[in-house]
Each structure stands twice: as C-alpha cells, then as structure tokens.
A and B are shown apart, each in its own frame.
Chain A
C-alpha cells in the first residue's frame, strides 16, 4: 500500500550510447520502487555498444561482443527512432513516428565527428570513425584498395590508422600539430610514439594542414593535398579531427548552450529547464564538454541520483587516459603538460626498451600532479591513483619499466580512486575485502572495479595481497604447490617418479587430481612412454588405454588425420576396420573420424590394423594437441591466399603428442573468410596476402571465446617459433585444466605480458622454450606403435585378468540408423543394478 502516494513518472532518454546506457542502468539499479517508467529513443539500429573498443572489430572481435545493453523489461528501447524535437511547453519529445510525453528528459545524444571545411570531404571513400556502421563502410571500401590516410593524429586518428593498416592499406596520418596525440603527450613522448608508428609502416605528416581531397578517375577519393605542397596518395580517407557535441535538439528547444557548444548544465547536470538534464559528451558541464567516457559515466551517476531525490554533483573530470595504440601503450594523466605554476618534471627515456615517461611534481616534489607514459604503461594504475597525493615511492623506482608499478597499490591512501571507469576507491575495495571478497572476480562482482577497461586489475590483486588475503594455489590435499611450481620442481630437480615427488614434496598417496597432473608433467618433460613403469598408475583411464572411455564402459578410437587431409586408401582402411569390428562411426568437429564401441581387448587389434594402414595415435584421449583443422587453401579455393592445408599438416605433425594442462586445438584458414574457424581455437592461424596472422586463447565449449590477435604478417618460420614458445610457456605455467584463454586472462598484464615474454623475451626464457620444443619434436614417437611392439604393455589390454578370452558381457549394442549404439536398460548378469543417481554434480568433462 502506497501511503506516500507516489505516482509513476515518465522518463525519456534521448540516446543509447555508452553514457545513455550507463545512466539507464544506474537509475534502474537504484529505483527500487519503480518510480520511473523509462523510454529510450535511439538513433542507431543496434543497442548500446562499447565505442571505446570500436577498433577491436578490426582485430576480428564480433560486433556482438561489444554489446553493452542488457534487456530490461522496465525500459522501452526504441531503436532507429531518433528524437526530432522537444516541445518544452507540452513536455513531449517528437520522433518521426510519434510523440513521447515526459516528466523528466535526459539528453544523451553524444557527439559527432568534426569534419574540417576542406574541399573534397564529401567524396565517396571519405569516412568518419564513430559507429559500427562507419567501420563496416570503411571495411567494404578498403577491399581491393592499397592506400589510406587519416586526417588527425590524435587518439582516435591513431586508432583509425591502425584499422587501415590491419585492412592492408599503406597508411598515412596527417596532423596539424607538430606531434602525434598532441592533447595527451608532450614533445618527447610524441617523438617516441612517432618512432613506433613509423616502424609499423604508418607514415606521419606532422605540423601540416590538409588543404583539399582530390578524386581519381572513378570519382572516389584518390589523394590529399597538404599545405606545404606535398601530395599523399589515399584511396580511402578517415577524418578524425575531433568531435563536437550534438546539441541541436537543445538549441532548437531554446535551451542555453555552452561557450563552445554543448547543452549547458550546472554541476547537477540540469539544464535551465528543471525537467531537462544532459549527460555525456553532449553536456557542457558548467560550460565544459568532456570527450572521455569516465567523466561521461560520472554525469550519468549524478543524474540517476538526482532523479531519485539525491543531491549528487559532478565531481570534476578525470581526463586520465591509457590506451594501446598500434601496439604501443600510451598513458596520460593529471597535469600531463606541466601547466601548474612552479611544477617540476622528472623524465625518463630508455632507448633500449623504447619507453618514455614523465612525472609532473609539485614545486616541493612531494605531490604528484600528472604524467605521460609511452611504450610501457605498467606504472599507470598506481600513478594515476596517486595524483594529488604523496608519491607512493621514489620517482625513478616508479618509472623503472622492469619493476612495474614500483610501490604498488598497497601504498595508496584510502581515498585514492583505483578504478576510474567506475569511480571505485581503495576504501570501497578494502571494505569489500573485509566483507569477504577473497579474489579478483569477487571484487569485480561487488564493486564493479575492473569491469570496464580492466587496467586496474593488477591493483586489485595487490590490494588483496596488502590485506593479507592469500589465494591458495595448492593442487590438492597431497601437494601445497601449484601445477607450475610442481613443473619447475620436477624439471629443475630432475624428479622422474610420482612416488619420489609425493614423498619429498607432498603427503599421502595422491588422488585423481594430482596423479594425472604429475603424469602430464612427466610426459611434457619427455621422460619415456606414458605407460612405462609407475607412470601407468598415474594415468586417467583414457591415457591408460590410449582411447576415450564412453558411458557404457567401451572406448572410442580416433586415428590422427593431420589437417583433415586423407587419401581414399586410408578412408577405406578406416571403413574396413569399423566394419570388421562393428564400430559406430562419426565425423568429428576436428576433421577426423571417431570409432566408438571398442572393448579394451579389441583396442590392440584395431590399432594393429590402423598402424599397418599408416595411421598413428590421434591423442584424442589425452590432455594434448588434438587437431589442426584447415580449410582447403589456395591449392583449390578461388579465394585462398596461402596453403592452409600444408601449414596445418606441418603444425599438427610438429606438435602431435605434446602433453599440456588441457587439450589443445588449432586451425589454419587460408584467407580472411576464416572457413577453418581458427579464432575458436587455442592457437589459430589466418593467412594474409603477405604471411600469417596468429591468434591465441580461443575455445569453443562451455564458455565459447574468440582468440585474440597476437601477431600479424608472420613468415612461416616466425609463426612456428611463436607457436613453439606459446605452447611451451603454456605447458610450463598454466594451472591444471586451465585452457589457454583462462591462462592468458589470469596473467598479470594479459596478452601484452605474453607478447613481452614470447616476442621480446622479457623473461629471458625464449632459448629455453625453443630448446624444450625441439626436444619434444625430436623425441616424438607414436604411442600406439610403441604399445603394439611391447608384449608387457599389450598385456593390460584384457577385459578380465582371469579370463583373457572372455569379452566384457556388459558391453552390448542395439542398432540405430544402421549403426551399433549402446544398448540401454539392465546389463546382462545384472545383480540388482542401481539406477543412476543424479545429484546436480557438475559433470567433469575430460
């Protein structure tokens, strides 16, 4: 019963960009009484997406992965219905199709790309870089073209330049200021950035204006004229010369605007009309527009609070920025240009690691005012959180690249903002930790810290450490060590057996967790056949019988078919084996053939036939490399640009038998059409005109994930070296059953760290990893051939130790679609068989 008699009010939100969406979520999260009925009018036909990560689309990320919008029954989202006017007297917003009355109106119209008044910007082939549709148009136009240029060398311009580069265009950047990213970095930082950019093959033209865009014979843009008389070839041009607030609705409605445009609002984000508010890039908060997402989110929070009766005000803009441009980390925060009176600079230039850093300090050198980092931005999270407060350590220690964030988050004061995207302070995080959050995912869930750009995640770990929360890495009750620690121990001490390892470094007799882990470590280090001696007792049944256990106690057999290429003779051989042993036959997702329903005692006979026909183990039973799938490649395909089949076979033969913490899958596609689905694999390769792109960390399964682009345009030799290192580093350092995606995610520094280890050899490991892989390749032999040649090993393939000639009577078949399948119901000789008990246990998929 509503004694307060509050009625439901109508709220109209114009715009469904990042800030508009954030505002709606913030309001809905707090409006527990349902005071507001929300209508959102969106210009674009797709719901809110992460514009900050727009360029990820060119790295192959699906547009769907950028989606920010989650459906909410309490919000009416009207896509493709932009507001056309606001009638303040009647309190309605008009659109092309109707009117939407409001009690409160929030403008979240964002900004548009500023296009300088230069001839030719209306030519076909000239684009802005703002929406997913813009990117789709750029991609379409780039097809078959060779040159591109970006007007504007700022943050967005360099993103666009990278996109053009990834699309295969020879790319130029024209910037009116004398350095790249003039707003964020100083001259020295700009110079370092320029070297990186040039090395990537992007040509900068600095300190010069574009005077005209000229068409070619086909009427589309062909070149830029520069003010100094030079001409730049460009069959595709992106204009990224800044943004302007979209204030036309407010202007037409007679609302006051800011001195440089934007809907003028006060610190409460309210316009001169008390029912109308503005958030994000369209708002001129006390006269100033902010073009970054963090201040935009702050305005969203302020208005959500105000509409529910709160008194929040805009806290001031944090203009700190950290981004990766063209593979280079660039960060800028606080007073980056040192405009504070009497301030001091500490700069650090390292031509070897190619990093540049500058700290701006107060005149007494005690307070951090701001800074610039180029090349290595690992100190950014700590430094940004320290702005305005005492330095968390000596300046050089803070900047030294190898040391990372010198003093760490533990030295920061309680008020320091750790996550600037979501305005989470150290005090918030400490409270969450005290309240029982014991790991990073828990902290993310209860504070939202680290859920936007993720740059503060290392600090979350440091805060957990500082609070004395220790994450147990113990493998199981028998070992206090993690898999990685066990691996190093076995490798360094040369321990060759489980019993010695558990006696010297563990306790008890092992279990189904630690035994297979140790078996896998021993196999990775190449200490003999997986079924030799004591190792046999460590293996899961799949590894023990070199086949895959099925639900009825029978096994399946998968011979290796490298790259999915197979001769008719071999296909016939598989068919004959399946027919003669009455095996159910199915084509797998990895382009090979699975034969089901084999009894243990049949496995050696089946493999005798397969080995004679030229097959070898497919390791479908192991935590090991499974397949390297391929498309048909340029041998046959009209679109292929490289021999994907040849490479897939070479990779599969190179890595066959490699034991790992989890199964490994791979694929090679011969062109960007990606028919082999390489991005769904742990390591995937996609052909380019000039070489190969390597993607890592993808998987299908329970949580499908696309692989991330790791390196581009590699020669075959470079590619193989990188994959060698990637796999060996994974084998050595991942946790038990941790797939590559989770392994990379859990790494401090993620993909960047992985690149620094595998490409730049930051840990000095590469020679060791290369040698380990060489040993694996040289030491490979087919496990099934080895078993067939050894009577001792063959002896265990019997159903019954006291009746070797009796087949297991419990394995019986029915026929379905012309093939044998397990017979259901009570097994023969069944003495009171129990019915399966399902207790909601997670199924462990091996």
Chain B
C-alpha cells in the first residue's frame, strides 16, 4: 500500500571492493546503506540497526537459516532475512531493504523509501 518512490541508481564502488560474505557501509544521498556480496548475489539494507539504534548493520555476520540468506546484528545478534528484511527473532521488526545491482563491474544502489 505504501508507494515506492523511485530514486536514481547511485554507483557506489567496484564489485571487487566487496569481500564475499563481508559487508561494507556506503553513503547514498545521505542515507547509510549496508552492502553485502554473498554466493546468492548482492544485498543492500539500511545500515541502521532497527533494534540497537546504531549504524552498524554492515558489520554483521552473513549466513543462512533454513536456506534463507541472513544477516545478524553485531550489537545483540538479532538475525534478519536478507531477502525480505524481516527479523527472524523479533516479530514485527524489519530492516529496510534497498535495490542493488552490478553494472560494468560497478555496484549501484537505488534507495527505496517507504513513505
């Protein structure tokens, strides 16, 4: 029901700056984004930990739970489904996802803003 406002794609860094399963943070139009490269592809989510309130999600550990790719908060270890952003440990808590793609060896991010 909340319309998605489409913003432009912002090039962020070369793909080889992303180590497998290890995140980095990027600043996109003033928004902190956490980027990950896994064997299942690229993921971009808010760097803000929705529970802890600090900008740390890019430093969490990537893994899987029941086949779903996951990200664990480095503060208090809540685990999020990277494909939906839903917290698997706390019902109702969601990590905002952003769109991410790789073009000509460059990683690009497009913010998704729910209003």
Contacts and interface: CB of A to CB of B under 8 A. Distances in A.
A190 to B, nearest CB: 58
A479 to B, nearest CB: 12
Contacts of A509: 21, 38-39, 62-64, 69
Interface in B45-77: 48, 50-56, 59-67, 69-70, 72, 74-77
B74 A541 contact: yes
Interface in B62-106: 62-67, 69-70, 72, 74-79, 89-90, 93
A511 B61 contact: yes
A801 B17 contact: yes
Contacts of A514: 63
Contacts of A834: 48, 50-51, 53
A549 B72 CA distance: 14
A821 to B, nearest CB: 14
A621 to B, nearest CB: 12
A514 B89 CA distance: 18
Nearest to B39: A509
A833 B12 contact: no
Contacts of A228: none
A512 B55 contact: no
B24 to A, nearest CB: 4
A800 B76 contact: no
B27 A551 contact: no
A829 interface: yes
A438 interface: no
Contacts, number: 120
B12 to A, nearest CB: 5
B81 to A, nearest CB: 13
A799 interface: yes
Contacts of B62: 509, 537
Interface in B26-56: 26-28, 30-32, 35, 38-39, 48, 50-56
Query: Which of A514, A803, A806: most chain B CB closer than 10 A?
Result: A803
B20 interface: yes
Nearest to B14: A801
A636 to B, nearest CB: 43
Contacts of A827: 53, 55
B48 A833 contact: yes
B20 A537 contact: yes
A534 interface: yes
Centre residue among B35, B77, B93 by max chain A CB count within 10 A: B77
B56 A549 contact: yes
Interface residues of B, number: 48
B54 A537 contact: no
B61 A551 contact: no
B13 A512 contact: no
A512 B60 CA distance: 8
The residue in A478, A512, A827, A844 that gathers the most chain B C-beta atoms within 10 A of its C-beta is A512
Contacts of B21: 509, 537
A516 B74 CA distance: 12
Contact of A802 (B13, B48, B89): B13
A807 to B, nearest CB: 11
Given A540-B74, A549-B75, A837-B90, A511 B63 contact: yes
Nearest to A534: B20
Contacts of A516: 61
A646 interface: no
A536 B24 CA distance: 13
A508 interface: yes
A494 to B, nearest CB: 22
B20 A553 contact: no
A799 B75 CA distance: 17
Contact of A541 (B19, B53, B59, B89): B59
Contacts of B24: 796, 800-801
Contact of B74 (A510, A549, A802, A829): A549
B8 to A, nearest CB: 15
A841 interface: yes
Given A802-B26, A833-B53, A837-B93, A843 B59 contact: no
A808 interface: yes
Nearest to B67: A508
Contacts of B74: 540-541, 549
Contact of A552 (B32, B54, B61): B54
A665 to B, nearest CB: 23
A477 B35 CA distance: 25
25 contacts: A478-B63, A511-B61, A511-B63, A512-B63, A512-B79, A514-B63, A515-B61, A534-B20, A536-B22, A537-B62, A540-B61, A549-B56, A553-B54, A553-B55, A800-B24, A800-B27, A800-B32, A801-B24, A801-B35, A802-B13, A802-B28, A803-B26, A831-B31, A834-B53, A837-B93
Given A541-B59, A834-B50, 4 more contacts: A541-B56, A544-B22, A834-B48, A836-B51
